[in-house]
Structure 1
């Protein structure tokens, strides 16, 4: 299924919106896993929030790897959808699943050996370390389920059926909340597990979501059992081709996730109140930011389909121009959401220490400006990836993260007396650093003439 409009006069903003709004809601619910857990355990105090922040930073590394390869699979499937080749779709789906499952298995093995020393080195006390270990043990189920769920989501997104992944979260989120509350507080006969109970709710929801999308895929395609052969002759050859396409995209997302989680682990060296404030605001940054990011992701999917169907020139120019102008409106919406969250934080987190609430309020100038360069950079990055310039995009992300944000974060965190708002402002400065590299490449226009390898 393709999302390309049959009528060439259809507004580009409308085409992207129809694809983007389910992506946005689904992404909000995905990132909302941590927001929900943080809200549900916030009443247990700053130490419980510190447990969640530490455990989520470690688990986020693995989830980021899975999301990385799934995003690569999504672009590959969008290209396949543009060509209308059923064997291409089948090859992209099963190659993506194989890579995700292998990455999950390797990641869980590494987690079993490395998580303990990391937790012991960063936890403020023995209770936080013990609870973080327990949380991660249960959260491993979430990681395993998401290895399948995210790949299936990528398949449906790439073929234009973005509502089905959204429906999986509409099914899973209420289950997550209900089960989490029961196991956090020991209600309805469940054991009282405190912060670990939040992981039980997330695991239950993740398994349900993966099963739902698996059933949807079976009912629609029977897992492509009736499609003969593979895109490149054999599954092994198709897997190699998929991996060759995916690794720069995956490396970009992995680098971003690792950098973010390394920074989150560095934040653990702040005092408890500052760390609690960062733990609470970062999921909100991701959740609200999905409005702009999903718009850019939808733009990339449609660009990939346009290139796959060889619809370039004026059609591509018109689409991208309209989508980009609307992206600035989306950035304004994100900024308004951020300011609303900050304004309501004294009521949302009324049980927090006054110092923690004051720290949250100090973040508003950064949050007001951040969505605009971030959204424009995302449009550039997703467009260039769809055209095959994955290595260039990877370099822009990797060097801005590891030559700037991570080392400067370490410097500011480890230097005594630096206000935490300075640490938080590095998110904005990083986007400003990436801005000229992305926009100069896009405006040069070479990518429009590139041949998309299929």
Structure 2
């Protein structure tokens, strides 16, 4: 189905069914993305701690570049939705070309830095030369993954912005089995393949990402190949078009980079907690990432549809009606996440039978926070994604950056290093952070300026 056909179908105001249709493939894709990292760790765990340490070191360096690529892909998603909603092929072509240029530039610069400085940095950080050698080999092969993701994530975000979120999911359904099978064979030398150890894991990922990116590229050419023949650029020439794209994207990317850095800093501070408390904080993080995708992707899908509606210059009453329905759906998604945490906490003895009773008791004590936080987090996310869809990206960035660096990070340091408070109160800082963001987000949204934004600029 081409974008022209899809655009005709969007002439009617979307409802919660449209949000769900867009959100569920995005949710599964995000779960696959996080799950792939876990699978790689499980496969390499059979080779021992040395292989895991080498992969962890290499992945940390490569992950910095991938983090930048993923951050800009979120902005690409919204900008695509704005252009798709407006139905202007010149705008749509400009967004796609600009997004690919920015993403490829980040990937190529990152790969160049890895090739020039990666070996030296790994040698300085690795505990011994054996781990350094394995990590350097892994990172060099992983550069293929970085290049593939630079292209692939941009295309996937373009599909999401055009309300075709199933296509990125199909790519993951294709690549994840390839990643697992090829990695197992190349790590252990099965089925006549060479036994490459840790290099086999990196090569398996490279093969899978190459297949995935090729698949998405072919689909893009089939569905949007006509954009190659569209004349002109949105802002006159290509250079001003890229500058406009960067101006929109940088605050969104900075928001995600800031969140990642704040999380890493807090994780380093958690290391000063008691062993049981640190273990509990470490264990709850992946649960929050995976379960939280349900409500997170719902709110991102809402932002995409709001951007499309603003691109079509939809009347304000229609925007209000859609957002109120999407908001109700976000609360339902938050309820689902809360139920997941309830089930997790009630099943701790089964999920983590080898943990010390004190650690399980700390995890169970997190339950009140985990149940309550989902609802302010969801409503704040609705506001944030709606304001981003309207182009109010700098304001949203300030809310996130100041709440993280002026409150959560220093408060975490005080609670852990000075007051030595319990893990419950340290985790509660995430709830207080949502409470701080709440009035800033909702006051801006209720003012209503976002409904009159000219997103086609």
Q: Establish whether TM, by shorter chain, passes 0.5.
A: yes
What TM-score do you get using the length of structure 2 for normalisation? 0.85
- Give the CA deviation at 1:404: 2.4
- Given candidates 229, 232, 241, the residue that maps to 2:232 is 229
Is residue 435 of structure 1 aligned with residue 449 of structure 2?
Answer: no
Gaps of 5+ in 2: none
Is residue 242 of structure 1 aligned with residue 245 of structure 2?
Answer: yes
Alpha-carbon deviations, 1:63-84, whole Å to 9, x = none? 2211221111211111111111
- Given candidates 143, 149, 152, the residue that maps to 1:149 is 152
Equivalent position of 2:99 in the other structure = 96
Larger radius of gyration, structure 1 or 2?
Answer: 2
SS across alignment from 1:228:
coil
Change (3 A) 1:45 1:414: farther
Contact 2:82 2:456 in 1 (8 A): no
Is residue 206 of structure 1 aligned with residue 197 of structure 2?
Answer: no
- Give the CA deviation at 1:86: 0.8
- Given candidates 418, 438, 450, the residue that maps to 2:453 is 450
Cα distance in 2 for residues equivalent to 1:319 and 1:158:
17
Cα distance in 2 for residues equivalent to 1:233 and 1:429:
46
- Given candidates 378, 402, 405, the residue that maps to 2:405 is 402
- Give the CA deviation at 1:221: 2.3
SS across alignment from 2:234:
coil
Alpha-carbon deviations, 1:365-411, whole Å to 9, x = none? 44333322221111100100111211100100111122223334455
CA RMSD of aligned residues (A): 3.6
Contact 2:32 2:172 in 1 (8 A): yes
**Matched pairs, number:** 452
- Give the CA deviation at 1:163: 0.8
Gaps of 5+ in 1: none
Change (3 A) 1:345 1:91: farther
SS across alignment from 2:236:
coil
Cα distance in 1 for residues equivalent to 2:216 and 2:400:
31
Equivalent position of 2:312 in the other structure = 309
Q: How does 1:9-408 map to 2 (within 5 A)?
A: 12-41=15-44, 56-111=59-114, 135-190=138-193, 198-222=201-225, 224-264=227-267, 281-342=284-345, 363-408=366-411
Cα distance in 2 for residues equivalent to 1:293 and 1:376:
10
- Give the CA deviation at 1:318: 0.3
State which drifts further: 369-378 or 45-54: 45-54
Change (3 A) 1:51 1:223: farther
Alpha-carbon deviations, 1:90-148, whole Å to 9, x = none? 11001000000111222334455776787788778887777655554443332221111
Cα distance in 2 for residues equivalent to 1:241 and 1:354:
55
SS across alignment from 2:63:
helix
Change (3 A) 1:112 1:26: same
Contact 1:5 1:15 in 2 (8 A): no
